[in-house]
């Protein structure tokens, strides 16, 4: 009943600038109730006569089941192209067609184990809700927030409330430890005795984290960001090579079977290709 | 996954007001002998096998679900990137990723049947033998409302030339598939617009045993990434779809209906609103499919039918059938001439 | 009418920042032996004979002015409506309204020459005799930088079939026109995308004496008015143009450049920004034309060149020529493979 | 020097609702100086990634050469399709790409003669500036404003300041004389001894006015509204059959040779066709 995505006309409640990002709060009754950390929304952009037809996907940062205005969902985004530029130009009361929540959320540990959460740039957005859930289950939570520079970090203050420990890294050293999130990870995994690492950020970061997790014998849960045309599983654009329980590699849709994957199941180095041996791997190609 | 959804996205019926005062429109149609509750279906490759749309519409209430073209064997499809957004459209190069016909018949088809949907099964082959085998397998499966034969595939036996681009090869593919399909199951041949003379292709696939035509498949396009300075798509070229190509699709329907007014046509290409669907009917289509716009609004096949109902009522038409081909009637005299 | 205008409309060069630090880009090119100050021209039928654009740009500073296709005799063109807006594009059916070649040569051409513009004269005939006669008249006029032969016209001697749709007829039209045009004046054959095999047409017009190709003319489309329920255009069908068809145009340039890398190509279809122009160069075009977008922004041929300059500089390219056909080079390995 | 159109990024100063219309004031320095009554502006609509590429034409209602914000132009428009809907959604400070002034303005009489000005719906917009100019030359000005209903009238109050006499007509009789503007015209022409009638409104009205003017031996100046793709003379979509001084009928561009035409020169009944005998009239048509 309270599963499955909704499609509805959301209404802009607030739009604030946070560093290099926009923080958008949408009134979207019903979505919050169904949201679990790691899920995303797909927003239509550009209005009724839009030349940009494809929906844009955004991790859900926060979801509140009720409130003065009815349930809300919040996202954090960077202006990148026409779709995000349009979103950044919305005003309170404007309508946005929302579909959500979508995708498979982060899997939660059954035991109260130590967890490390790593967010790259706006990739930290879905980690705060996750941290809450983990703490509810008695897990200890340690966070790493990494970005190219200070203005590209999101949620450092909030992280201090959400986690037992927080490490911030920036590549330009403008704040925190200079370097990448993955530089500080081995130490942290060892120090916290982590059982699971959760990660959301660019593919390169996820790939490195999945490898480190394996080296340390730690489970990893990685939220990927593949290009998506529909977000709901009907177009087959968002695929990625993933090894199944049966050992077979398949091109799987990251919108419905992800965006969160077990890090050890994704063939990171082969993303963007059809690795040899994949189910139904290429022969002479047909255009469609 | 059976939650009913709120009303959605695009509505464009400004001049359709006053519809309440129009006649009661029954949206049901008959397409090549098959009764459909509305003339609005999904388009192949834009609805998977229907299941993923269940949260957004009632699959039993829309015209039909046209499934992603299925090949004989499982296929991984092409490498990514598989799509690029383009002005009012998109390019795709999926490469017919799918489970193969056996898995499709074992899983996807029964799901559609058990949920009360009319399943139009799209098949695609790389050789005449494959079309024949696919026709046999699908033809012997219960619950198939119609078969759509996607011939926009390279023919491995003919230097990889696309079947749909040659009247003779197109006919052979359709005829191969047709053989194994029972008489009472309509076969729609889906044509490519990328030909000099569409009517001759239409003619030859009808001769080869098609019951009707689906017009059009995507038109070939290409986009280059400004940063990598290489084609965006891993497959280099891709199929262009969406509202950008609607005038092209409407023209194809128009030309074929003009030449062969008795052939049932399913119009597809850029349908976004009920008025777009209406435009296809006026051009000569009996039914329409919604493809790319489903990515924009997964409730579209349902919404478009509702909007079409309003558009028909506003113009005093009582059924979709009454609109079919109307635009071919002589034009009323231009305004301003009063004799 | 010589007021300079303020900077205009569409700019889309977000990732082109930092261009200031790139190399100095000289936009001048050589197209089939003719030197042009920039690779960005107007498109035939979208700039009349250049004069009306003078308030919005300096006709002497843009690549060239391609004039509206001129017929032998004066023509009234088609009845109105002559256009419909479509998603990211438009349909037109003007019917080559124009003053005829004599008036054109007496008035329009001298205006362009006296204002320092490079005049690319587009000619269109309804028969081989007309092409020959047009070639002679234009060929003997001083100040013509190049001739563009528009062969997307019905051939009255061949059941009204469009020259551009048949390799043989296309070649005959080009060869007829070519005969009267001096060797040193390049002849660009402008092709239609509405064919099954564009490369074969390209091949045959090059054989027939064309110096280069203009790709593409509009693609045939149709729109129906929801209220009158008849085709919107008085001419029923029309030519689809604008950004909607850009992926199609880029594909045509790509295919022809792939098959005939030494043939100079002028890319046209949906160019809106400097990055679009860049995309055409990467696909294999030496120059580009801006058509429909001029209606949106009459300063576009000037603006697009400036934006192209920024795009080239940002990628370390020193001239448009360095970009031509780059997208055909092998792709760098996909990210994520590190061996 | 101060002739010819400008292209510039105008800025929205105000947007107000007036009856069924929107009244838009744009800061567009330089345009006002060049504007003469009857000229129009062509606005780009839909933003940088617009799916609606063609400019929309609007008569200039008022143009002020200077002011606190620099010169302004004002237009009055009805929301009709996507372009006007987009315009109606603008806010102060938003940018709109403007080209103007465009077209041939109303021709002014050399002598101080009585003039009748007829506006249908928003067609009254360009008449107020015209009235001012006529009065400056000593002409007496009489106005007729007609519309389907009261909310479709524009400028009735202002008309009283602009003209010696004002007649208002509505087809539904909601205000003024029931009927059409053309119903009251013969009387008015006779009563005022008018030498010129100026008209702006739908084609049917213009056609009727041109005929009445001829019957009364009065000059007519009619501003037409043909569908325009470019507004600047390069596309040839906006043509209309007009008889020239030489007696030859040509398909002339209403954007550059109009929008104002002498009523007796337009072949009103043949609009939308190529009348036989037109220069270069149809033979077997070529598609382009
Ligand atoms: C599951 C998921 C979660 C995401 N979460 C966030 C988030 O929380 N904050 C945020 O800023 N961004 C997020 N993104 C990326 C976001 O979707 C893109 O930045 C956005 O689509 C860009 O749209 P545009 O029109 O601005 O850019 P354009 O580049 O013009 O977009 C063109 C097309 O490419 C697609 N596209 C472009 N960039 C990306 C990308 N990085 N990932 C996927 N598709 C892309 C767009 O959807 C569109 O179809 C997420 C993506 C996915 C798949
Ligand atoms: C010289 C001139 C002056 C005008 N002055 C005014 C004015 O003062 N106030 C006002 O409200 N309207 C005026 N119009 C009409 C105005 O241009 C149209 O209402 C507007 O273009 C509709 O755009 P849309 O996107 O809302 O409608 P759509 O119907 O979606 O427009 C689609 C296309 O058709 C064209 N079009 C549609 N209707 C008209 C029309 N009536 N005339 C010309 N082209 C049209 C548009 O420009 C566009 O290219 C004038 C038109 C012209 C030619
Ligand atoms: C992502 C995608 C995948 C498609 N896959 C198929 C397919 O498998 N078989 C087929 O016949 N057509 C396929 N098509 C073409 C559509 O069915 C349709 O003919 C075309 O997209 C035009 O319609 P539209 O503009 O509504 O999308 C595909 C289109 C898209 C966009
Ligand atoms: C209104 C209009 C008129 C045109 N007239 C001609 C013409 O006379 N001759 C010609 O070769 N092409 C003509 N074209 C085609 C353009 O030159 C161009 O090839 C096509 O529009 C694609 O480019 P675009 O998308 O930039 O407009 C015309 C196009 C338009 C929109
Ligand atoms: S985005 Fe369409 S299937 Fe995943
Ligand atoms: S509107 Fe383009 S010529 Fe008049």
Cβ-proximal residues to A193 (8 Å cutoff; 6+ apart), any chain: A114
| Ligand 6 centroid to residue A264 C-alpha, Å | 62
Q: Could you give the CA distance from residue A207 to residue A225 in angstroms, rounded to a whole number?
A: 12
Q: Which residues of C are catalytic?
A: 153
pLDDT value, residue A288:
38
What average pLDDT does range C178-200 have in this prediction?
97
Q: Which of D202, D225, D256, D258 to mutate to test the pocket of ligand 2 (most atoms within 8 A of CB)?
A: D225
Which ipTM score applies to this complex? Answer: 0.95
Residues facing C278 on adjacent strands: none
pLDDT on residue A67: 72
Ligand nearest to the CA of A200: 1
pLDDT at C21 over 70: no
For residue B203, pLDDT over 90 is answered with yes
Q: CB-based contacts of D100: which residues, under 8 Å, 6+ apart?
A: D5, D6, D28, D31, D34, D35, D39, D40, D41, D42, D60, D73
pLDDT in tens, C86-137: 999 999 999 999 999 999 999 999 999 999 999 999 999 999 999 999 999 9
Q: Which atom of ligand 6 is nearest to the CA of D253?
A: 4
A181 or B156, which is more confident: A181
Residue A212 exposure: Cα atoms within 13 Å on the Cβ side = 26
Class of A6-102 per CATH? mainly beta
pLDDT, tens digit, for every residue of C274-331? Answer: 999 999 999 999 999 999 999 999 999 999 999 999 999 999 999 999 999 999 999 7
Q: C19 pLDDT exceeds 90?
A: no
Domain D115-270: give its CATH architecture. Answer: 3-Layer(aba) Sandwich (3.40)
Cross-chain CB nearest to B296 (options A44, A282, A284): A44
Query: What's the whole-number average pLDDT of chain B?
Result: 92
For residue range A219-260, what is the model confidence (pLDDT) as tens digits? 999 999 999 999 999 999 999 999 999 999 999 999 999 999
What residues line ligand 1, using a CB cutoff of 6 Å?
A: A 40, 54, 56-59, 75-78, 80-84, 122, 125, 225-228, 259; B 85
DSSP A28: -
Residues D281, C79: Cα–Cα separation, whole Å: 10
Q: Would you place residue A109 in the very low, low, confident or very high pLDDT band (cuts 50, 70, 90)?
A: very high
- Residue A46 in contact with partner chain D when CB distance is under 8 A: yes
Q: Which ligand is nearest to the CA of D40?
A: 2
pLDDT, tens digit (0-9, with 9 covering 90-100), for A7-17: 999 999 999 99
Architecture of domain B14-77+98-220+243-327: Alpha-Beta Barrel (3.20)
pLDDT class of B192 with cuts at 50, 70, 90: very high
Give tens-digit pLDDT for B74-94.
Answer: 999 999 999 999 999 999 999
Q: Identify whether the C-beta of residue B159 lies closer than 8 Å to the C-beta of residue B153.
A: no
Q: Minimal Cα–Cα distance from D268 to chain C, Å?
A: 13
Answer positive or negative: Cα dihedral of B322, B323, B327, B331. Answer: positive
The predicted model gives C150-170 an average pLDDT of 91
Q: C171: pLDDT confidence band, cut at 50, 70 and 90?
A: very high
- The pLDDT, as a whole number, for residue C204 is 97
Q: Is beta strand B40-42 parallel, antiparallel or unpaired with respect to B287-290? A: parallel
Distance of CA C101 to the CA centre of its chain: 20
Q: List the structure tokens of A265.
A: 């199941």
Q: Mean pLDDT over residues A136-161, rounded?
A: 94
Per-residue pLDDT band for C338 (boundaries 50, 70, 90) equals: very low
Least confident of B32-36, B312-316, C321-325, D64-68: D64-68
Q: What is the pLDDT of residue B153?
A: 87
Mutate to test the pocket of ligand 2, among D18, D45, D56, D205 (most ligand atoms within 8 A of CB): D56
Among residues A221, A245, A261, the alpha carbon closest in space to that of A253 is found at A261
Q: What percent of chain A has pLDDT over 90?
A: 92
The residues, ordered by sequence, that sit 6+ positions from D210 with a Cβ below 8 Å of its Cβ are D199, D220, D222, D263, D264, D266, D268
Q: What is the mean pLDDT of residues D149-157?
A: 93
Q: For residue A227, give every residue at least 6 positions away whose Cβ sits within 8 Å of its Cβ, in sequence order, or none.
A: A237, A238, B80, B81, B82, B83
Among the partner-chain residues C222, C247, C250, the one whose CB lies closest to the CB of B254 is: C222
Domain boundaries, chain D: 6-102, 115-270
Nearest CA to ligand 5 atom 3: A233
Q: Is 90 exceeded by the pLDDT of residue D113?
A: yes
Judge: D52–A52 Cβ closer than 8 Å, yes or no: no
B53, pLDDT greater than 60:
yes
Q: What is the pLDDT of residue C234?
A: 95
Residue pairs between chains C and D whose CB atoms are closer than 8 Å: 183
Q: CA D236, CA C334: separation in Å to the nearest integer?
A: 48
C189 near C226, Cβ under 8 Å?
A: no
Q: What is the mean pLDDT of the segment spanning B130-154?
A: 95
Q: What is the mean pLDDT of residues C36-46?
A: 98
Contact B91, B239 (CB under 8 A): yes
**Strand D239-243 relative to strand D249-253: parallel, antiparallel, unpaired?**
antiparallel
Confidence of residue B270 (pLDDT cuts 50, 70, 90): very high
Strand A239-243 relative to strand A249-253: parallel, antiparallel, unpaired? antiparallel
Q: Which ranges constitute the DSSP H helices of A163-257? A: 181-192, 203-215
State what percent of residues in chain B have pLDDT above 90: 88
Selected residue with higher pLDDT from B210 and A284: B210
pLDDT beyond 70 at D234: yes
**Residue B318 in tokens:** 């009582």
CA distance A25 to chain D (A): 22
Query: Does residue C91 contact residue C83 with C-beta atoms inside 8 Å?
Result: yes
**Residue whose C-alpha is closest to residue D55's, from D213, D231, D218:** D231
Q: How many residues does chain C have?
A: 339
Q: CB-based burial of residue D79 (10 Å sphere; 0-12 exposed, 13-18 middle, 19+ buried)?
A: middle
Cross-chain residue pair C224–B89, CB shorter than 8 Å: no
pLDDT at D276 over 80: yes
Res. B26: pLDDT tops 90? yes
Give the helix ranges, DSSP H, for A35-164: 82-88, 127-136, 156-162
Distance, in angstroms, between C336 CA and closest chain A CA? 5
Q: Where are the domains of chain C?
A: 14-77+98-220+243-327
Distances (CA, A) of D123 to A246, B45, B332, D65, D283: 74, 50, 28, 23, 37
SS (H, E, C) chain D: CCCCCEEEEEEEEEEEEECCEEEEEEECCCHHHHCCCCCEEEECCCCCCCCCCCCEEEECCEEECCCCCCCEEEEEEECCCHHHHHHHCCCCCCEEEEEEEECECCCCCCCCCCEEEEEEHHHHCCHHHHHHHHHHCCCCEEEEEEECCHHHCCCHHHHHHHCCEEEEEECCCCCCEECCHHHHHHHHHHHHCCCEEEEECCHHHHHHHHHHHHHCCCEEEEECCCCCCCCCCCCCCCEEEEECCCCCEEEEECCCCCEEEECCCECHHHCCCCCCCCCCCCCCCCCC
The verdict on D52 touching A (C-beta cutoff 8 Å) is yes
Whether the CB-CB separation of B47 and A230 falls below 8 Å is answered with no
pLDDT digits (tens, 9 = 90+) for B212-254: 999 999 999 999 999 999 999 999 999 999 999 999 999 999 9
Cross-chain residue pair C15–B86, CB shorter than 8 Å: no
Q: Determine contact, residues A200/A119, Cβ cutoff 8 Å.
A: yes
Q: Which residues contact B333 (CB under 8 A, 6 or more apart)?
A: none
């Amino acid at each position: 009943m309270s599963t499955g995505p909704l499609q509805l006309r959301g209404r802009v409640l607030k739009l604030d600038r946070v560093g290099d990002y926009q923080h958008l709060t949408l009134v979207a009754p019903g979505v919050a109730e169904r949201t679990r950390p790691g899920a995303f929304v797909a927003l239509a952009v550009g209005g009724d006569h839009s030349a940009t037809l494809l929906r844009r996907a955004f991790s859900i940062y926060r979801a509140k089941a009720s409130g003065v205005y009815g349930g809300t969902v919040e996202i954090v985004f960077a202006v990148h192209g026409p779709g995000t530029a349009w979103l950044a130009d919305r005003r309170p009361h404007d309508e946005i067609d929302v579909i959500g929540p979508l995708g498979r959320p982060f899997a939660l540990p059954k035991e109260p184990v130590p967890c490390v959460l790593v967010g790259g740039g706006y990739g930290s957005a879905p980690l705060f809700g996750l941290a809450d859930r983990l703490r509810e289950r008695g897990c200890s939570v340690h966070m790493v927030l990494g970005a190219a520079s200070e203005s590209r970090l999101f949620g450092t203050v909030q992280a201090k409330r959400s986690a037992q420990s927080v490490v911030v890294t920036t590549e330009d050293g403008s704040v925190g430890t200079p370097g990448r999130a993955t530089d500080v990870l081995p130490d942290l995994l060892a120090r916290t005795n982590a059982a699971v690492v959760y990660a959301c950020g660019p593919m390169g970061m996820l790939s490195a984290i999945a490898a480190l997790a394996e080296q340390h014998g730690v489970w990893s849960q990685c939220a990927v960001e593949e290009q998506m045309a529909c977000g709901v599983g009907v177009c087959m654009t968002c695929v990625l090579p993933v090894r199944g329980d049966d050992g077979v590699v398949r091109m799987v849709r990251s919108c419905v079977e992800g965006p969160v994957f077990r890090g050890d199941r994704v063939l990171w180095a082969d993303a963007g290709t059809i690795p040899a041996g994949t189910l139904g791997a290429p022969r002479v190609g047909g255009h469609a | 996954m059976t939650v009913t959804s709120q009303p959605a996205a695009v509505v464009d019926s400004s001049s359709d007001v006053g519809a309440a005062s129009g006649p009661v429109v029954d949206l049901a149609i008959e397409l090549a002998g098959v009764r459909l509750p509305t003339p609005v279906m999904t388009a192949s490759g834009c609805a998977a096998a229907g299941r993923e749309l269940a949260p957004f519409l009632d699959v039993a209430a829309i015209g039909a679900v046209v499934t992603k073209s299925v090949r004989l064997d499982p296929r991984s499809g092409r490498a990514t990137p598989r799509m690029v957004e383009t002005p009012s459209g998109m390019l795709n190069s999926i490469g017919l990723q799918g489970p193969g016909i056996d898995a499709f018949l074992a899983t996807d088809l029964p799901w559609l049947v058990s949920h009360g949907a009319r399943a139009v099964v799209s098949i695609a082959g790389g050789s005449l033998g494959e079309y024949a085998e696919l026709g046999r397998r699908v033809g012997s499966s219960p619950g198939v409302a119609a078969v759509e034969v996607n011939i926009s595939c390279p023919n491995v036996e003919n230097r990889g030339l696309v079947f749909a681009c040659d009247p003779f090869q197109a006919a052979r593919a359709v005829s191969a598939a047709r053989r194994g399909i029972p008489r009472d199951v309509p076969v729609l041949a889906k044509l490519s617009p990328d030909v000099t003379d569409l009517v001759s292709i239409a003619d030859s696939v009808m001769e080869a045993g098609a019951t009707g035509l689906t017009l059009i498949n995507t038109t070939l396009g290409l986009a280059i990434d400004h940063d990598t300075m290489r084609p965006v798509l891993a497959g280099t070229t891709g199929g262009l779809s969406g509202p950008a190509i609607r005038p092209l699709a409407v023209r194809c329907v128009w030309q074929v209906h003009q030449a062969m007014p008795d052939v049932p046509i399913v119009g597809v290409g850029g349908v976004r609103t009920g008025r777009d669907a209406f435009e296809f009917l006026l051009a000569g289509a009996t039914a329409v499919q919604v493809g790319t716009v489903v990515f924009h609004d997964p409730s579209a096949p349902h919404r478009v039918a509702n909007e079409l109902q309003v558009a028909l009522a506003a113009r005093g038409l009582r059924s979709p059938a009454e609109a079919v081909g109307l635009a071919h009637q002589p034009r009323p005299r231009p305004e301003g001439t009063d004799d």
